[in-house]
């Protein structure tokens, strides 16, 4: 009994001493929504100390969700704009698991603002990410791009977007949008450079679009 008490005291003292030591940690509270697909897997991985992996799987789920046709309850497909109502909650769940991972935020914000015409949702997501990383260049540039897109100023939106897509974490989807916008504005060289970068990226789902874009520019 005495040995058990001594060991318990030693363990508690050790934990107390190390709790005051400053170590980078993921925030304890994430405000994870308990609704939707993949939340159980995310919570299970969180409890095993695998929040990064949970965020990875959440992002793969998001890619699969966004890559398939969205249908309403009657089985009718939505048009390109609108639909994918679960995109923002899914992106928020990924952010709750891994708040410092900016790639899914940029991806979801780009899809919401430029493809689904829901810039307010995109800005809300970007603002949440910026609260943790206020100086992040890619996030700030995307906020500006979405803001100008909302105002209908395509040229200014593209300028900001170009800053975002030059970063190391820029999603290929955003590059594809920037290339297409450059093409529309007649900036052929920049568009061609971006299409070539897309062809070299790991995301093969945009390779075909990039090849078509390059063919149009030739």
Partner 1 sequence: MNAAMVLAVNTWRQLLRTRFLPVVVLFGGVLVYLGLLLGALAGDVEPRVLLDVGMAVVEVMTCGALAYCAASGVLLEIEQKTLYLILTRPVPRPAFLLGRYAGAVAASATAAAAMTACVASVLLVKGAPAGTDLLLALWGALLKGLVTAAVATLLALVSTSVLSAMTMTGVVWVLGHFVAEIRFLAQHTQSLAAKALLPAVWLLPDFALLNYRDRLHLPGAGLGESLALGALYAVLYSAVCLGLTTALFRRREF
Which residues contact partner 1 by CB under 8 A? Answer: 3-4, 6-8, 10-12, 14-16, 18-19, 21, 23-26, 28-29, 47-53, 56-57, 59-60, 63-64, 100-101, 103, 171-172, 201-205
Closer of 33 and 205 to partner 1 (Cβ): 205
Residue 71's DSSP bridge partners are: 77
**Residues 6 or more apart in contact with residue 185 via CB below 8 angstroms:** 154, 155, 158
Q: Quick one: 17 or 81, whose CB is closer to partner 1?
A: 17
| CB of 146 or CB of 165, closer to partner 1 | 165
Structure tokens at 170: 């820029």
Q: Which is nearer to partner 1, 10 or 185 (CB)?
A: 10
Joined tokens for residue 140:
């700030």
- Sequence-separated (6 or more) residues with CB below 8 Å from residue 53: 45
- Report residue 17 as tokens: 């001493």
Minimum distance between the CB of residue 197 and partner 1, rounded to whole angstroms?
A: 11
Least Cβ distance, residue 40 to partner 1 (angstroms): 15
Query: SS3 of 138, please?
Result: helix
Q: Is 24 left (phi over 0), alpha (psi -120 to 50) or beta?
A: beta
Nearest residue to 162 (alpha-carbon basis) of 150, 179, 149, 184: 179
CB of 202 vs partner 1, minimal distance in Å? 5
| Minimum CB distance to partner 1 smaller for 147 or for 194 | 194
Dihedral over Cα of 137, 138, 141, 147: its sign:
negative
CB of residue 23 to partner 1, shortest distance in Å: 6
Q: How far is the CB of 72 from partner 1 (least distance, A)?
A: 25
């Amino acid at each position: 009994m005495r040995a058990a008490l001594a060991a318990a005291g030693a363990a508690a003292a050790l934990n107390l001493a190390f709790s005051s030591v400053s170590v980078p940690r993921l925030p304890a509270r994430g405000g994870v929504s308990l609704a939707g697909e993949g939340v159980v897997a995310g919570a299970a991985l969180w409890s095993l100390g695998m929040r990064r992996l949970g965020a990875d799987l959440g992002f793969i789920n998001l890619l699969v969700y966004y890559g398939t046709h969205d249908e309403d309850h009657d089985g009718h497909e939505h048009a390109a704009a609108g639909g994918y109502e679960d995109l923002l909650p899914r992106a928020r769940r990924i952010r709750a698991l891994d708040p410092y991972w900016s790639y899914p935020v940029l991806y979801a914000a780009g899809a919401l603002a430029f493809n689904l015409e829901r810039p307010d949702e995109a800005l809300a997501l970007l603002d949440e990410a910026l609260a943790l990383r206020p100086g992040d260049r890619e996030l700030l540039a995307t906020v500006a791009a979405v803001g100008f897109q909302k105002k209908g100023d395509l040229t200014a939106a593209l300028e900001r977007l170009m800053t975002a897509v030059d970063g190391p974490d820029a999603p290929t989807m955003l590059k594809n949008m920037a290339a297409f916008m450059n093409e529309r504005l007649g900036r052929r060289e920049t568009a061609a450079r971006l299409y070539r970068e897309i062809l070299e990226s790991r995301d093969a789902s945009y390779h075909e679009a990039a090849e078509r874009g390059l063919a149009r520019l030739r």
